[in-house]
Chains A and B, each alone.
Chain A
C-alpha cells in the first residue's frame, strides 16, 4: 500500500480539514478521538455515521451541542448495522447513493450486543463500512467487561481478571467473505488513514477494527496513548493487517512481526506497571496470553498459507 505521508495530508486541503470539532467531551488522551479525526480526514464530507450506544454517543456532545461536522445518528445498542443498512438503501432511493454510510461502534456494540446485526449486514454484503473502535471494555459506562477485553484484564465486572480470551472479531467478519477487513491502531494514524482511503473506494461490506486505547479504563497516564497503541502492535498482540477479497497482507510494523522473535516480549505490555488493569496478570496468565497471541497469528498464517497455495 502506498503509504500517505504527513506532508501529503498537510498539502491536501480536504484532508487538512478537521471534522471532529473542538469542544467535544473526550477524556484526555482518548484513542477514539484520534480515530474519529483520522477516519474523517479520509472519508470527507459526504459521510453519514450511525453510532450505537458507546463512548462516541456522549463525547460527540450532549444535546444541543454537536462536535461531529458530518451527519451523525446515535442508534440503539443492537441496531447500528441494521440502521446503516436501511440508511444506505434509503439514500439510494433518494438519489444519495454515493454517501459513505458507516457504523461507528465500540467493542461492546460490535463483539457483544451488535454482532447479530453485524453478521447479518456482512452476510448480505451491504454497501457500508463498519468500524469498531476497540477500547476493550464498556468504557462509556465505566469499564465493564466485554468479549473484547483481553484475558486477565481487570474491569469493574471482572475485578479478579477476565477468565476468557479476547474475541477475534476481524477473523469472524473475514469468515463472511466480505470484500474488505482491516485492523488499525491509532498509534499508526497514516496506516489508519490509508485504510479508510482504500475502504471508501470499495463497494460492499467493509470492516475496520481500530485499536483505541483508553487511559481511564486501562489505567495508564493520558500522555501514553500513542505509545500504548504502538506497543500492542510491537508485541504482536494486535497485528495490523488487511484482507482484501480473502487475501491477507500484514501492514506497518506487523509486516516483520510474523517472525515471533522480532516481537517485543509480551511481559512489557501485559504488566501492571504499564497498565493498571493488568494487576492480576501473573506468570500463568502471561503464558496463557502468549498462547492466545499465538492463536491470533495462527489465523493470519492460515490466510497466508492459503494464498501461498493459491499462488502455486
Chain B
C-alpha cells in the first residue's frame, strides 16, 4: 500500500471534489476545463496517475473537447454501467444542458460537481452566483447547495449512494460557490479507502433498466408517440425525485453514524431555530455566514435562527414547513435572479407555494432578498439588517421600506444613492 500524499489538512474546495470522486471509486471521468472548475479536472488528471490510486483503481479519464461532449460522454459511459463523475460551471453547464436533461430522461446516476458562476450574457462574470445551476431547476436533476470544504468532499462521497439507489436513478449536482469555496483552502479530512468503500454503494455489473449486451439487445430512447407512455415516463422522473427525499436523509444519517459528522438531515440544516422568532433562510456559503449573523444579532437582543437549504431538488417541503410553521417570519436570501418570476427568486417563490398549500403556514411572512450576484460580497451587516427588517415586520405588521427594496423584494448590496461605493475608476463612473 502506497502512503497517500494527502489525508487531512488544508485543502482547496476543488481538490476536495477531486479526492471525493476518487474515493467514491468512479470508473469514468469526462473532463473539460472552465473557470472556476479547472482545478477539479487538473487535480483529477494527476490523481488518476498517482500510485495510491492506480494500485487499486482503474479510472478512465477522458479529456473531452467541450462540455456538451462531457455530458454525452457521461451518458455513454453510464449506459454501459460505469460510475461516472465530472465537474463544470456557468457557461459550461449551459452548454451541457441538453445532455443534463438526457441524464435524467435516461435515468442515469452520474454525480456532477458545480462551481457556481455568474452567467455571461453579456456582462462577463466568473464569480459565485447560483444562476447557472438554478437554470436547470426543472431538468430532473437533484441539486444540493454545499457550504463548506469538508461538505464538498462528504457530499460527493455520499452522492452515488443516492443516485444509484434503485428508487432514485437520477443524477446529483452538488453546487458550491465558485472561488468562494473552489479556490480557498480549509481543513478537510479524507476518509481512508477501506472505510469509504464500506460506506459507498457496491458496484453492479449493469443497471437494472439499461445495459449493453449483444445477447440481450435493447434499444434506448425510441421515438414515443403522444398516446404512448411519454407522460408516464416524465411522471416517473418526478416520482424518483420524491423517492430521493428519504434516500438523502438515510444516506446522511448513515454517514453521520459512520464518520461522526453530518449536515442536518441532508435536506436542511437548522441553526439556533429552537427559540428563534425570525428565520434567515438561505443556501450555500451565504447561509453559513447567516449563522454568524444570527450570533451577532442575538448579542443585540434579536432572537434569530438560520435555516440552510441544503437540498433544493427534490424540494424538502415538509422539513421547511416544520420550521416555517414555528417561525413565521422568514427572510429568504438568494444568490441568483429568476428574471420575471413573482419574487425574482426561484427559492422564495417555491417557499411561498408550499406555505400557500399548508393551512398552518399560510399566514407566514416570506420576505425575499436577492444579493451577492456575480460574486459580490454579502456582508454580515447586511444579513443582520435582514433580521432587523423581519423584526420591524413582526412589530408593525408590514414589510418596512429600504432604499434597496423594489417590487417587494430586497436587493441586498444594491448600489444606491446613499451607499458609498469604492469604484476603481470613480472619474469614469461619476457619482453613483
Could you tell me the distance between the alpha carbons of A69 and B206 in the complex, rounded to whole angstroms? 20
Nearest-CB residue, chain A, relative to B102? A76
Q: What 0/1 readout, one digit per residue, does chain A (219-246) give for beta carbons within 8 Å of chain B?
A: 0000000000000000000000000000
Q: Does B212 sit at the interface, judged by CB under 8 A?
A: yes
Contacts of B220 in A (CB 8 A): 72-74
Q: Does A94 sit at the interface, judged by CB under 8 A?
A: yes
Contact count A vs B, C-beta below 8 Å: 173
Q: In the complex the two chains form, is B72's CB within 8 Å of A75's CB?
A: yes
Known: A87-B79, A116-B65. A47 touches B102 (CB 8 A): no
Contacts of A83 in B (CB 8 A): 72-73, 75-76, 79
Q: Which 3 A-B pairs have the closest CB atoms?
A: A86-B76, A90-B80, A120-B65
Q: In the complex the two chains form, is A72's CB within 8 Å of B212's CB?
A: no
Q: In the complex the two chains form, is B27's CB within 8 Å of A90's CB?
A: yes
Q: In the complex the two chains form, is A96's CB within 8 Å of B217's CB?
A: no
Q: Does A261 sit at the interface, judged by CB under 8 A?
A: no
Q: Does A99 sit at the interface, judged by CB under 8 A?
A: yes
Q: In the complex the two chains form, is A86's CB within 8 Å of B218's CB?
A: no
Q: In the complex the two chains form, is B219's CB within 8 Å of A117's CB?
A: no
Q: In the complex the two chains form, is A74's CB within 8 Å of B60's CB?
A: no
Q: Which of B6-14, B170-178, B223-231, B372-380 contacts A (4 or more CB under 8 A)?
A: B223-231
Q: In the complex the two chains form, is B212's CB within 8 Å of A86's CB?
A: no
Q: In the complex the two chains form, is A86's CB within 8 Å of B214's CB?
A: no
Could you tell me the distance between the alpha carbons of A228 and B223 in the complex, rounded to whole angstroms? 30
Q: In the complex the two chains form, is B214's CB within 8 Å of A71's CB?
A: yes
Q: Does A91 sit at the interface, judged by CB under 8 A?
A: yes
Q: In the complex the two chains form, is B98's CB within 8 Å of A89's CB?
A: no
Interface residues of B (CB under 8 A from A): 27-28, 30, 58, 60, 62-66, 68-82, 84, 98-99, 102, 205-206, 211-215, 217-225, 228-229
Contacts of B219 in A (CB 8 A): 60-61, 66, 68, 71-74
Could you tell me the distance between the alpha carbons of A31 and B217 in the complex, rounded to whole angstroms? 24
Q: Which has the most chain B C-beta neighbours within 10 Å: A69, A75, A81, A119?
A: A75
A interface: dominant SS: mixed
Contacts of B63 in A (CB 8 A): 124
Known: A60-B219, A94-B206. A82 touches B70 (CB 8 A): yes
Q: In the complex the two chains form, is A74's CB within 8 Å of B79's CB?
A: no
Contacts of B79 in A (CB 8 A): 73, 83, 86-87, 90
B162 to chain A, nearest CB (A): 20
Which of A47, A61, A84 makes the CB contact (< 8 A) with B76? A84
Contacts of B102 in A (CB 8 A): 76, 79
Q: 17 pairs across A/B with beta carbons < 8 Å?
A: A45-B215, A63-B228, A68-B219, A78-B72, A79-B75, A81-B69, A82-B64, A82-B70, A82-B76, A86-B74, A86-B79, A89-B82, A90-B79, A94-B205, A94-B206, A116-B68, A117-B65
Contacts of A12 in B (CB 8 A): none
B101 to chain A, nearest CB (A): 9
